Chains A and B, each alone.
Chain A
């Protein structure tokens, strides 16, 4: 016998007259197991999962360094060593520092701010594709994963910011009222990072070569973002359009904003505010929408 017979028999036993399984399901108010929730419902689901997102992020951070002898100390050592390597390369060996005042602070601010975005985007791209077993075992809004990875990077940033602030003070910059704006720019950058990593999470889930390609893209981005050099100084003799294009780059915008606060001691220009806010809102809306559109398809590939 073929199985639809058995199914029909079952349907008959339940309903009397023969009816299709879909009709039987509808009569009893059963719904398809796989259906994408509406956007507001999805946001509510995500909100109820906030404890999972936070715990997952913290757990990943704890387990990440559990095998090494120095343990959690690496959370501070990693940004310090990063700053030291870049300072040695670009400050001492290549001799950039002659043109820019307080080059160590300039460089380290750039590296820390850029690393925050870079790491969130790279880990976000892996967040779905490296958790397929979790996606195939449990039910939760999938955006929890890129969000948890972003929170994990935010926790790491806490340590980096501590290192950054100490180094900036050591290089002789004063503490000013402008420092109160640091959380504001970090919040804007975080929102941008979340959006970008949601976007990349979907790309990474379906385009399997993303993780191989991404380090090259982010490195190119690093060199274009004025981490090691001053964009305005380098583009002095070039057309204005090129300078605007470089300064409109979100990473460059967040870096310059932070340098204004920490090093130049000036209130960021209106243009910088607009760029930073625009990128945060734009990335969040586009990234979230794009990720949500494929919600029911994650875990299949």
Chain B
């Protein structure tokens, strides 16, 4: 029950600062959420996919062994409130990114539900960009992919170019960029939009020191304008600096949920 007391003490702390009504209305409620992925092409050594084996499997009416189900999130529940910045920590493969995608409504729940106020959006536009195209075209493409209107795009365009700091490279294809420049442009595009519920997946560990500083400032601004921020990062300092609450995921379940310093201390010990 250690975590429960922590959770309650965390709540109590907030309540001591303000009356319960000011605690903030719920913006995201995750109710006993299960996410199951189907993964293709995960064959073991003995079942390597040559044609003869595949034929034999069909003859014997066995299913495709290459298809495996991955139970990435196993019954997670929590309530996120207005004004919270929630860090999510956990080892690789503990279901952090999957959880974010489920909150964003991009992965359907296997069981349970995610309730949200407004449209949570994932800070990440990489998948829409095309590396053969110039930076200019990618800015336009990325902004439209995030659902901006042409007027919004015109307003934001110069700001994106300035913020990314890539200068005249904006006229070159993205495939000619250094990895740092690409990351900066991607961050600049994806952070150009304001969001109700903002989900950030490892966006901070990119670029040089100066850009890191600028991007942290941008995240802070976004936190202030967004209702709730979720942040997944392996860099625990970032989480400690920016988050008011931390959820520790372990093998798809919540191991701990509460005050950043306590959860991070326990996480570091584990």
Contacts and interface: CB of A to CB of B under 8 A. Distances in A.
For this complex, into which size category does the number of interface residues on chain B fall? 35 or more
A35 B225 CA distance: 26
Interface in A35-70: 48-49, 51-52, 55-56, 59-60, 62-63, 66-67
A33 B7 contact: no
A9 B8 contact: yes
B78 A208 contact: no
B205 to A, nearest CB: 18
10 contacts: A4-B32, A4-B77, A34-B109, A49-B144, A49-B147, A52-B144, A66-B132, A134-B145, A135-B106, A208-B40
A60 B40 CA distance: 27
Given A25-B115, A49-B144, 13 more contacts: A1-B4, A7-B78, A21-B30, A21-B32, A21-B79, A28-B25, A28-B26, A29-B117, A31-B116, A34-B109, A49-B147, A67-B132, A138-B146
A32 B115 contact: yes
B108 interface: yes
Contacts of B79: 7, 10-11, 14, 21, 24
Interface stretch (B96-104, B163-171, B209-217, B229-237): B96-104
Contact of A138 (B29, B128, B133): B128
B87 to A, nearest CB: 16
Interface in B215-257: 253-254, 257
Contact of A139 (B31, B76, B81, B119): B119
Given A7-B78, A25-B31, A51-B149, A136 B107 contact: yes
A14 B23 contact: yes
Interface in B36-67: 37-38, 40
Secondary structure dominating the interface of B? mixed
Contacts of B30: 21
A33 B32 contact: no
Nearest to A208: B40
A3 B76 contact: yes
Interface string B71-92: 0000111110100000000000
Given A3-B253, A9-B8, A55-B140, A14 B26 contact: yes
A34 B114 CA distance: 8
B106 A136 contact: yes
Nearest to B149: A51
Contacts of B144: 49, 51-52, 55-56
